[in-house]
DNA sequence: CTTATATTTGCCAATATTTGACAAGTCAAT
DNA sequence: ATTGACTTGTCAAATATTGGCAAATATAAG
């Protein structure tokens, strides 16, 4: 499970029977780049997520979630304190959210 | 709550009655940089965490946890799907861990 | 085996981001 | 007004990431 985002994009693209060469130009990149993105070797730019969601007729929220999860995973993978760090981050997140209400 | 790591470092440093000018050289940086790190305007390098932990006679694991939490928070702050993304990342983390056992 | 199409990989220059270093600034105590 | 601790701003240098191209691989068809 390299990149959840990439794998999902590939699945969606295949479901739509689209080739890299058809999708890549819509994102203003070449097939090589999109291939790398699907394999998790590169990151799609955050602001392109709604675009690719529309192309693949998928939920932007779902893809954003997977994309963010990949970023988070990158930070903590191989880290001994990964779980603890996630807990702390989550608490901070909820703390801030409560304040904003 | 800007940077949990930075705030903790400052607390620890003050508890040890050390000045920026005393600590900074041990990390091979100037006081300006360390000041920024404590205020969360810059990141300490990951590999320096054990060093600062020793200087401040603190737990390297604790500081690493806070440092990682800051990185995670940076990724998801202001993101609508933050919580969902954390969940997904956590699942992946636990899935991988189980595999390694 | 050759061709055609889709995807992948490797490389490197271009771009973007982060850092290091310094100077000047604030603030508090004297 | 001077000193000491810390902060802030700037900018070039160091790092990291990306874009674009060419070559490699894979698969299928003839």
Nucleotides of D under 7 A from a protein CB: 4-9, 17-23
Contacts of A64 (CB under 8 A, 6+ apart): A49, B79, B80, B81, B85
pLDDT at residue B17 above 80? yes
CATH number at A74 reads 1.10.260.40
Protein-to-nucleotide distance from the CA of B5 to the C1' of C25, whole angstroms: 26
Rounded CA–C1' distance between B77 and C21, in angstroms: 31
Per-position pLDDT tens, chain A of length 101 = 789 999 999 999 999 999 999 999 999 999 999 999 999 999 999 999 999 999 999 999 999 999 999 999 999 999 999 999 999 999 999 998 787 76
CA distance A2 to A21: 23
| Rounded Cα gap, residues A94 and A91, in angstroms | 5
3-state secondary structure of A52: helix
Residue B12 sits in which domain range? 4-100
Protein-contacted bases of chain C (C-beta within 7 A): 5-10, 18-24
Question: Six-digit token pair at A15?
Answer: 């479901």
* Residue B45 to residue A53: CA distance in whole angstroms: 35
The total of structural domains in chain B comes to 1
């Amino acid at each position: 499970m390299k990149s959840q985002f990439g794998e999902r994009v590939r699945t969606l693209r295949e479901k739509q029977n689209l080739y890299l060469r058809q999708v890549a130009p819509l994102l203003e990149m070449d097939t090589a780049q999109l291939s790398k993105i699907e394999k998790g070797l590169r990151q799609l730019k955050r602001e392109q997520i709604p675009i690719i969601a529309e192309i693949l007729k998928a939920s932007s929220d779902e893809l954003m979630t997977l994309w963010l999860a990949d970023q988070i995973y990158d930070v903590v993978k191989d880290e001994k304190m990964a779980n603890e760090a996630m807990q702390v981050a989550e608490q901070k997140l909820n703390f801030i959210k409560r304040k904003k209400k």
